[in-house]
Amino acid sequence: MTFSDWIEKYAESANKLERRKNNKSKSEEGKRVPPPNVSKVARQIGSIYKDKLANLDEDGWYYYSSNNKQEGIWNKVSKDVICSEIIIPFLEKLGYEDGWNSTYVLDVAKYLSWELLKTEWNQDPNYIALLDGVLDISTRQLLPHSPHYGFTWALPITWSERDKGCDCILRWLSYVSNGDEIFVDLLLVVLAAIVRGRTDLQVYFNIVGPGATGKSVFINLAKKLVGEESTAVTDLYQLENNRFETASLLNKKLILFT
């Protein structure tokens, strides 16, 4: 077989395959069922994801997923994530691989935002999310992670390692306090308020003093407790002159003013 013969045979095979594909498409065209109206799809998705998806109005979408890098918390996600990870796979699973477009998907997302709207988002202050579970402060019992707690953050520590204790930290606090137990208790109260998110106290802690007296170490200790992602660093000048600065403080558990 010459090269020209091979080209001719290949072209003929390609034409046959294309004709077969077109004939199949025409024969199946009448069998295609258009997807249902957007409100019906939104209600179906809402009934499935009612415990793992929430629209917090102006704060946007939150998704409780096992794919999160931190188990047990609700993560803020964009509308695009809702469309690509939930709505489109749902349509494809039902067999609607075509017959819809981006407008249809966005309309479903809009209806879904109404279906899963939450006007209140409460977190019980008696519970704290940890890496390995949820701590009941009153009983000191570790409970399994669950979406109903509504946590949007977790302490970067594990309850299973509590036996290691914190003797070295207590010794350091006593050292920088010159053995003043009342002052040590005050420092511990500050750390406890940060961990528990006690914004209701409406107080701030001002650290002043000469160098090498433990100010930076105490700040780093507080940052380690809540994690870098839950910490924001700013100053009064930025707050006064940068209109976008307050956005960086949203949902932070520790705000440091330098």
pLDDT tens by residue, 161-220: 888 888 999 999 999 999 999 999 999 999 999 988 888 888 889 888 888 888 999 999
Structurally, the chain folds into a number of domains equal to 3
* Domain range enclosing 90: 38-115
pLDDT computed for residue 7 by the predictor: 44
Beta bridge partners of 62: 54, 76
Which of the four pLDDT bands, split at 50, 70 and 90, describes residue 84? Answer: very high
105-112: list long-range contacts, CB under 8 Å, 24+ apart.
106/79, 107/38, 108/38, 108/41, 108/42, 108/45, 109/79, 109/82, 109/83, 110/38, 111/38, 111/39, 111/41, 111/42, 111/43, 112/42, 112/45, 112/46, 112/53, 112/55, 112/82, 112/87
**How far is the C-alpha of 59 from the C-alpha of 48, rounded, in Å?**
22
Q: Does 48 share its domain with 97?
A: yes
Look at residue 235 and tell me if it is in a domain. yes
Q: Does 154 share its domain with 174?
A: no
Look at residue 209 and tell me if it is in a domain. yes
Q: Does 86 share its domain with 71?
A: yes
**How far is the C-alpha of 40 from the C-alpha of 183, rounded, in Å?**
61
pLDDT computed for residue 27 by the predictor: 43
Q: Does 146 share its domain with 191?
A: no
Q: What is the DSSP letter of 36?
A: P
Look at residue 173 and tell me if it is in a domain. yes
CB 142 within 8 A of CB 130: yes
* Residue position matching structure tokens 């001719």: 8
Look at residue 42 and tell me if it is in a domain. yes
**9 vs 51 pLDDT, higher one:** 51
Q: Does 137 share its domain with 186?
A: no
Q: Does 176 share its domain with 223?
A: yes
Nearest to 123 by CA among 132, 138, 134: 134
- Structural tokens at position 91: 């349509």
